[in-house]
Amino acid sequence: MNILLAPHGTRGDVQPMLALAEALRARGHVARFVVPSNFLDWLRARGFEAQSDGIDAFEMLRTAGSRNLMSIRWQMRYLSSVLVPKLFESVARASHGADLIVGAGVQIAAPSVAEWRDVPYVAVGFCPCVVPSGDCPPPVVQRQTLPRFVNRLLWAVGRPVTNIALRGPINRGRESLDLPGIDSVLSHLVGRTLVVAADRDLGPVGEDAPAEVAVTDAWIWDAPGDLDDRVARFLDTEPAPIYFGFGSMIAHDIPTLAGDAVTAARALGRRALIAGGWAGLDRHVRESDDVLAVDAAPHHLVLPRVAVAVHHGGAGTTTAAARAGVPQVILPHILDQFYWAHRVHELDLGPRGLPVGLVNADVLTDRLSRALGDPRIREAAATFAPAIGSRNGVDAAVELLERL
């Protein structure tokens, strides 16, 4: 098969698709990408054909800023006026010759393009909170402890709201492909098959999930190579340091957040390993004997050797920390990160999550103290790690795509 993989979003949306692509290639299929332009070099270095979808996701997040990203009004305006037109043009161009299209993240055009090409389409989500059910509210809702009937009500209310915001832009894109208009945006985007790729213990899909939902474990891709010598030496020194990294997220006040991280680690007599990520956290700390700043750190090599992982709660990072058997302190920024923070607390893998906008050094010190000192957290992290670490859903995903 010739399969077009069309993730749109941050690295958390693209990296699992890279895991899928390598598994597809190992089975003799051709996998190629249409992705945000900032991921092209990375994917091409892994030997895959990749085209730009017209958006630089890193530059978009940096320019938008954290306040806009938290605004539903801004999100809807950006989706309708910028993202939808660019995705329709770029995915349509990249789809030539595809036998199957797989979309992930904020991929709005791919279902229509697959219909235009008369090929199957598969939508992928990396969190159960993309599935309408009573187990959790829609991703834009932060509170995760609502009654089941309220969650179902929020999903029901969300359908007409989403239609108002996106049906017009999507139908204009479909008109450019000579396709008829749609009525329900959510039904259209999910299509006939929605694959939820999340670890069965960390993120189980609810029993009332729709029939079109298929489930695999998380798709794992571990970067090849070894640790930088400087990082390895830092990790070899006792006691184990605390890891701070927020992946592709851009927080409101980066210098203050970086300073709070170092202050909290020192208050507990621990060293701090700061991974800069897209926020550039590493540029706002001064290195010393107890602080090491790096641009990025391979999770599968670093996290098993730290005392606690402080992160944003992305699906990939949460799974990596659980695989490593390390306690987690989650500071969620947006969307599904609040779901993962709730699950980590519910499973005793870490203390209650703290929205990043509420962070200060004292509160962060308290959360870290709990993560380090609570025997239930240490025991749960150690107990879950072997099972989660043994699972990778990519082979099951390949078999599902082959059946289609």
Question: Digits of tens for pLDDT over the chain (404 positions)?
Answer: 999 999 999 999 999 999 999 999 999 999 999 999 999 999 999 999 999 999 998 888 777 665 566 666 777 777 777 889 999 999 999 999 999 999 999 999 999 999 999 999 999 999 999 999 899 999 989 999 999 999 999 999 988 988 888 899 999 999 999 999 999 998 898 888 999 999 999 999 988 888 889 999 999 999 888 899 999 999 999 999 999 998 877 766 788 889 999 999 999 999 999 998 877 887 888 889 999 999 888 999 999 999 999 999 999 999 999 999 999 999 999 899 999 999 999 999 999 999 998 999 999 999 999 999 999 999 999 999 999 999 999 999 999 999 98
Which whole-number Å values give the CA distances from 167 to 72, 86, 185, 340, in the listed order?
A: 16, 16, 6, 29
Q: Are 349 and 372 in contact (CB under 8 A)?
A: no
Q: What pLDDT was estimated at residue 206?
A: 84
Q: Are 296 and 276 in contact (CB under 8 A)?
A: yes
Which tokens belong to 128?
């159960």
Dist CA 354 CA 364 (whole Å): 9
Dist CA 290 CA 282 (whole Å): 14
Domains and CATH numbers, the chain: 2-220 (3.40.50.2000), 229-389 (3.40.50.2000)
Dist CA 21 CA 141 (whole Å): 32
- Measured in residues, the chain has a length of 404
Indicate the residue type of 345: H
Q: What pLDDT was estimated at residue 93?
A: 97
Dist CA 333 CA 311 (whole Å): 10
Q: Are 122 and 101 in contact (CB under 8 A)?
A: yes
Q: What pLDDT was estimated at residue 277?
A: 82
Which tokens belong to 137?
């509210």
| Bridge partner residues of 103 (DSSP) | 6, 123
Q: What pLDDT was estimated at residue 279?
A: 79
Classify burial at 118, counting beta carbons within 10 Å of its beta carbon; exposed 0-12, middle 13-18, buried 19 or more: exposed
- Angle, alpha carbons 69-21-25 (nearest 5°): 170
| Bridge partner residues of 45 (DSSP) | none
Q: Are 59 and 39 in contact (CB under 8 A)?
A: no
Indicate the residue type of 90: S
Q: Name the DSSP class of 16.
A: H
Give first-to-last CA distance, the chain, whole Å. 11
Dist CA 12 CA 7 (whole Å): 10
Q: What pLDDT was estimated at residue 155?
A: 93
Dist CA 137 CA 237 (whole Å): 43
Dist CA 310 CA 316 (whole Å): 14
Of residues 215, 238, 254, the one with CA closest to residue 307:
238
Q: What pLDDT was estimated at residue 67?
A: 59
CB-CB neighbours of 284 under 10 Å: 19
pTM of full prediction above 0.85: yes
Exposure string (b/e) for 212-235, b if CB count within 10 Å is 16 or more? ebbbbbbbbbeeeeebeeebeebb
Q: What pLDDT was estimated at residue 283?
A: 83
